Structure 1
């Protein structure tokens, strides 16, 4: 079922809404995979509205919010920013730090639309390559990134709450 999702660049004023969908989508994605207390701690630290406000105001970052056509509730988002990954960045690298949607959007094309806009925004920032990290065992996300043209570029250990997990790093040239 295709929806007419509204995608727009988020401002600092949108930070509370983006933080809410960030925490909800992270919880929805990792409930049953990661310990609940680790999910809560991770979201409190990494998905705070203050962080999204800083990213929204940063000229080297782009936060995009996806809204439901009926009522404009936030249902997804993406974040492009300066790379923070354990590989040597090349000149012109950016990181797709986050791209999440709520499960009610699955199968509607929203993920692809968010990705296409993120890649366009990365190119507009002057990026030559987009990097991203994802939990190595997250088969659904890995398949999505591979369909979107990303290839393996490395690995990292990633902290969520009290736990450490093995991530893979993907790259895609623009």
Structure 2
């Protein structure tokens, strides 16, 4: 794609409010109509607090990326790569977790998703990681196709709570 109207950049603690906003917006955009609205609001309020992003962006073992529209720099996507792994699979030396990667649906097909993924892979390489792990809702078939195009394969499952409901997720991995 020539001359996209977006950019991806490393985010820092000062970006926490924008990250919190785009995290909730993309979660709602992705799952509205699939998950209970009150469960989604509760989940976003608990999981997408600015303090969470400050902690990730302040940790030298983590990478936080922000996708923005040009001009104006409105947040439209993000990714978070963490050294702390919260997945119930056997871990290997050099594992890192792609904790989150989302973009607003208006950005689908723009190349933003692959750009976020590539920068996450580049960060994993810089950290000396050997494998990236991630969890995704079992019913998010669009995400499954995206991850598989990016070289990920299913290595396990987990359960993930959103509000009052426990969902079945797939756990993916790919070498870096």
Q: Could you state the TM-score of these two structures normalised by the residue count of structure 1?
A: 0.97
Q: Deviations over 1:40-93 (max 9, x none)?
A: 111111111100000000111100001101211010000000211011211100
CA distance in 2, matches of 1:137, 1:80: 22
**2:103 maps to what in 1?**
101
Match of 1:122 in 2: 124
- Using the TM superposition, give the Cα deviation of residue 104 of structure 1 relative to its aligned residue in structure 2, in angstroms: 1.5
CA distance in structure 2 between the partners assigned to 1:70 and 1:102 by the alignment:
17
The alignment status of 1:173 with 2:175, answered yes or no, reads yes
Aligned to 2:67: 66
Structure 2 matches for 1:36-75, cutoff 5 A? 36-75=37-76
Residue 157 (structure 1) aligned to one of 139, 159, 171:
159
What is the RMSD of the two structures over their aligned residues, measured on CA atoms? Answer: 1.0
What is the rounded CA distance, in whole Å, between the counterparts of 1:86 and 1:132 in structure 2? Answer: 11
Provide the C-alpha distance between the structure 2 equivalents of 1:73 and 1:15, rounded to a whole number of angstroms. 13
Count of residues in Structure 1 that have an aligned counterpart in Structure 2 = 174
Task: Please name the residue that 1:30 is paired with.
Answer: 31
Distance 2:7 2:147 in 1: 22
Secondary structure of the corresponding residue to residue 173 of structure 2: strand
CA distance in 1 between counterparts of 2:118 and 2:5 reads 15
**1:4 deviation in Å?**
3.5
Unaligned stretches of 5+ in structure 1?
A: none
| TM-score using structure 2 length | 0.96
Q: Which runs of 5+ in 2 are unaligned?
A: none
Q: Given that residues 138 and 169 in structure 2 are in contact (C-alpha distance below 8 angstroms), is that contact kept between their aligned partners in structure 1?
A: yes
